[in-house]
Amino acid sequence: MTPLAGNYALEVINLKKAFGGLSVTQDVSLVIKPGERRLIIGPNGAGKTTLFNQITGDMRPNSGTIKLFGVDVTKLKPYKRAHLGLSRTYQIITLFNHDSLEHNVALGLLGLRPARWQMWLPLSHYNDLATAARRTLDAVGLLHLAQCPVSDIAYGEKRRVELAMALAQKPRVLLLDEPLAGLSNTERSQVKSLITSIPRETTVIMIEHDMDTALDLAESVTLLNYGRIIVDGDRDSVIADERTREVYLGA
């Protein structure tokens, strides 16, 4: 292995996954540099979320290798990958409905601390967690709702809580699964500027259908179709590529 091997934030090598006879990931290989903003596009059913689920460990690939900063994580459980600096948001909102926004974000912070095994003192005892949670909520513009239960807030706000939970962990690699889905125009530009403001220490990989907004955020683009990488490269060349038009931009 060359010393350069550790220079990628994420490496996916010959990844294959099939559900019965249906191949959802067909020999996918891609490398992402630290700090890169990568957009993953493709029609519905192209295998984008399945690829994410394999990167996070929610799903085991049939074969292939996944490396995070040079470390082979292919067989690691999802929580261990989180401790290596991997974080994600979900396409379908996955929050703790009965708990306050602050509790949701603080829980995310607790996940990376040894205090999560603490059986004596309550979560609210950790003021630093609450402070950090409130700071992140402020960054996404939801501080005024910090004490509201998630079930009481609007859909667009929930999307931002999803983002806040991931951002609070200060991940090294952040996977965003359709962060703009179902948002109004105003909310969309809010979330867009939020994603723009993510520090460069964090590598961002994003699945998004809203091309107008997403292309502004990306430096490089990967186009998936039927579980296969069709085009992969910097933004302009992928947009210009004929195959992109054919598969995705279509009309």
Q: Which of 47, 126, 130, 198 forms a contact with other proteins (CB under 8 A)?
A: 126
- Burial of residue 81, with CB atoms counted within 10 A of its CB: 0-12 exposed, 13-18 middle, 19 or more buried: buried
Q: Which of 7, 14, 94, 131 forms a contact with other proteins (CB under 8 A)?
A: 94
H or E segment at 27?
Answer: strand 22-32
CB of 129 to other proteins, least distance (A): 9
Nearer to other proteins, 3 or 117 (CB): 117
Q: Which region, judged by CB under 8 A, interacts with other proteins, from 2-10, 14-22, 86-94, 193-201?
A: 86-94
Q: Which of 12, 15, 40, 95 forms a contact with other proteins (CB under 8 A)?
A: 95
The rounded distance, in Å, linking the Cα atoms of 27 and 226 is 11
Q: Which residue has the tokens 């513009």?
A: 141
Q: Which region, judged by CB under 8 A, interacts with other proteins, from 13-21, 100-108, 188-196, 206-214?
A: 100-108
CB of 25 to other proteins, least distance (A): 19
Q: Which region, judged by CB under 8 A, interacts with other proteins, from 21-29, 32-40, 50-58, 176-184?
A: 50-58
End-to-end CA distance of the chain: 44
Q: Which of 2, 3, 44, 120 forms a contact with other proteins (CB under 8 A)?
A: 120
How many other CB atoms sit within 10 Å of the CB of residue 146? 17
Q: Where are the alpha helices (DSSP H) in 37-184?
A: 48-56, 78-83, 101-110, 127-139, 155-168
Tell me the DSSP string of 177-219.
Answer: ESTTTT--HHHHHHHHHHHHTS-TTSEEEEE-S-HHHHHHH-S
Binding site for other proteins (CB under 8 A): 56-58, 77-79, 82-83, 87-88, 90, 94-98, 103, 107-108, 110-112, 115-123, 125-126, 165, 169
